[in-house]
Structure 1
Amino acid sequence: MILCSDIAGWMESLLKPGLLSLPLLGHDWLRQTSRDPQAWARAVAAIAPVRICEPLFPSLAFQSDTAVISLGEMTVLATQGSAINVTTDHHPFAQLMLPYRGWGVFHVERQRFENPVGDSVLFLPPAPMTLENNITCGVALNMNPAILIETALTMAGPEGLPPERLNVFQRPQLLRLHDPNCGHLINGIYAQLLTLHHLCAPPGSDPSALRLDDVLVRMIVLLLVPELQRMDPLPDTPMASLAAKAKLESLVDWIETHLENPISLSELENQVHWSRRSLQYAFRDAYGCSPMQWVRRRRLHRAMQRLTNPQPGDNVASIGRSFGFPSPVAFSREFRRQYDCTPSSVFHA
Structure 2
Amino acid sequence: MPSLPRVTAAALTASTVLLSMLMPAGSAAAAPPSVRLIGETIVPHKLDYRGTTVGGLSGIDRDPCGGGYVVISDDRSYQQPARFYTAEIPVHAGGVGPVTFTGTHPFRQPDGATYPSPALNDGKAVDPEEIRVDPRTCRYWWAQEGNRPATPEAPDPVIQPSIQQADRTGRYRGDLRLPSNYEITMADRGPRRNQAVEAISFDGTGSLLTSAVEGPLIQDGPVPTTGHGALVRVTTQNRGGHVLAQYAYPLEPIFAEPTPGSPWAPDTGVPAILAHPDDPTRFLVLERTYVDGAGYKVRVFDATTLGATNVRRTDSLAGAPVRPMRKRLLTDLHDLRLSTVDNFEGMTWGPRLPSGERTLVLVGDDNFYDKESTQVIALALSGRW
Interval of TM-score (by shorter of Structure 1 and Structure 2) = under 0.3
Higher helix share: 1
TM-score normalised according to structure 1 size:
0.28
Higher strand share: 2
Query: Higher Cα Rg: structure 1 or 2?
Result: 1
TM-score normalised according to structure 2 size:
0.26
Higher relative contact order, chain-length normalized (CA < 8 Å, sep 6+): 2
